[in-house]
Structure 1
């Protein structure tokens, strides 16, 4: 899954220069219409759907299954929406959402927090997963059993100041020195190639890379960051939109989130069937990995929350306070504006 870029300069510039907002103009591609289906003009008029674009944070994976399930099972269509699920291309999902290129997208609490403190009006509408499933992972032969063991090892990352801040934070709990870690920027390099060739450990999502390691027969020592501080148990990823889209068409936002919630509930209750839906949308994915990942992740979507997507103010405050204390934010976050549960369906 994609590593986050923490350079928000381009995103801020896009916001300042954007001349138009996130409307509901018809895209050139009529994605979401069933191939071969023909209707009369009168039928088209009565069944006219609102065109919506949803941009992923990276290539399709099991974080996104609920979106594909909602589309495949007709939940979006039933909500009056023609949803086109796209990949971000050269720009980030946050940039596309903020500039109006997509009405919704997959983002992270980390980037929304940093973006909002730089006047980028993104809003998180749902937590895809209730608890942070990311952490530092190393092949067992590197003998990294605790943050103390990071000392003298090579870390492969993507050059974000947040990486070192998190590493320093959990190492200090054990009296360890982050300056004794060698940082190597591996960009988008494959984890398994990197640990064989260049590094000892990296930051991964266990639900994808960790499961792949299991299937490869390559056991990992996994140090989940949430296990070392409740402030690091943040929402990653999330479904996001912009303030402009929400203000201009709140009923559409509610319809989209209701259908999306149904998609994730389906994936919770039917992991194997949901995995097949994801594979249909992204046939190049490894089938065994998708099925195994989905089985691992499905119960974690909602976990201990009263409904899928529910977000807590305390989670947003804990993490933004942590970032501000470590000078990763220019100013404190206005937490209440960063997220909303108002567009989720009521808990059953």
Structure 2
């Protein structure tokens, strides 16, 4: 399915876009704030570009760091600065306020920001699958979602909980009464210490933390068989996560359009590098100053690759079925406060595959494998503490 929203190559909707931005001025910046045009090339002939990550430097973003390290951005005429994220940084807001040229954000969170007035557009859906799990000790007997009834269930909140809540609702559980919800820290200590029966985890981060921890009963590291995981991809409530978002308003500018194609081309080439050279990609991330250990980072690159590859139609394209599922859950699922992610269907300009298709065509012409159909993940051995 090819979808080319009317923002691309057109300017007639800018007035309406400005009005929408005014609705979200408190969260997303002033409606009168002029979005910058594509920056002029510097003395080196490269155009400065800022990419805002949604979290700290780690293997989750290996493709972008690889593209920078391997010179793929420079090859496309871009001087890319990667801005680290954190708990107090909302990447889509940084983008909407003109403080970045592109941002990495989960789709439901970005759609919420767009509904509030942030004029941002998904231009490449890099993660094709969800990386979120709900993990329990195997002896707890939580083999399916219904078994969460009466249990203490951890989640991070901040928009990370909707896959869990959708799964519980589909299983006939009332999230506000049939389980005891606990605000979970961004670690697995609550599960390991017995305070939480089922904890939220990302395949590429917190789940690895469990396998890097020592089982006090054996003195050895925990093993996968010590745990039971609920995978939302298998349950059917997976939502789309890491995507590249661009400024909707600026996509009316031809220079920004060309820059977006160039940026996506180099970024996807970086992801292909991370797929084919995971150890080297790990080394790039470690060299960038990640505080996580080398084995943890290799695990992370390997697991993230599983979320990107294979991409049968081409990396970065939106799967319409996954998009519709994400939107449906965002519209219908209520969290502990009774709120849904969004209150109305996103408009047709929330995503476009126009620019990523151009990027994929260019990569194919260069002989780059953009589908990864032969991708085979590594078997990674984790060291204590992820060292």
TM-score bin (small chain):
0.7 to 0.9
Greater Cα shift, 261-270 or 169-178: 169-178
Any unmatched runs of 5+ in structure 1?
A: 1-8, 27-43
Question: Match for residue 92 of structure 2?
Answer: 94
Please report how far the alpha carbon of residue 254 of structure 1 lies from its aligned counterpart in structure 2 after TM superposition.
0.9
Residues 163-202 of structure 1 show CA distances to partners (whole Å, capped at 9, x for unaligned) of 2x5434323444444312111223x442235541632222
Q: 1:72 to 1:167 in 2, by over 3 A?
A: closer
Give the helix-richer structure, 1 or 2.
1
Question: Match for residue 285 of structure 1?
Answer: 292
Question: Match for residue 13 of structure 1?
Answer: 27
Q: Distance in 1 between matches of 2:93 and 2:179?
A: 32
TM-score of the superposition, structure 1-length normalised? 0.82
Secondary structure of 1:221's counterpart equals strand
Question: Match for residue 35 of structure 1?
Answer: none
Question: Match for residue 107 of structure 1?
Answer: 105
Q: 1:106 to 1:307 in 2, by over 3 A?
A: same
Residues 222-245 of structure 1 show CA distances to partners (whole Å, capped at 9, x for unaligned) of 10112222xx33321111111123
- Alignment check: 8 A CA contact 1:135 1:203 kept: yes
Secondary structure of 1:234's counterpart equals coil
| Aligned with residue 233 of structure 2, among 226, 230, 236 | 226
Question: Match for residue 332 of structure 1?
Answer: 345
Q: Distance in 2 between matches of 1:157 and 1:339?
A: 28
Q: 1:168 to 1:65 in 2, by over 3 A?
A: closer
**CA root-mean-square deviation:** 2.6
Question: Match for residue 62 of structure 2?
Answer: 65
Question: Match for residue 55 of structure 1?
Answer: 52
TM-score of the superposition, structure 2-length normalised? 0.75
Secondary structure of 1:305's counterpart equals coil
Q: Distance in 1 between matches of 2:309 and 2:252?
A: 27
- Alignment check: 8 A CA contact 1:155 1:200 kept: yes
- Alignment check: 8 A CA contact 2:54 2:89 kept: no
Question: Match for residue 10 of structure 2?
Answer: none
Secondary structure of 1:285's counterpart equals coil
Q: 1:276 to 1:346 in 2, by over 3 A?
A: same
Any unmatched runs of 5+ in structure 2?
A: 1-22, 214-220, 335-339, 365-387
- Alignment check: 8 A CA contact 2:145 2:168 kept: yes
Q: 1:22 to 1:227 in 2, by over 3 A?
A: farther
Greater Cα shift, 127-136 or 16-25: 16-25
Secondary structure of 2:229's counterpart equals strand
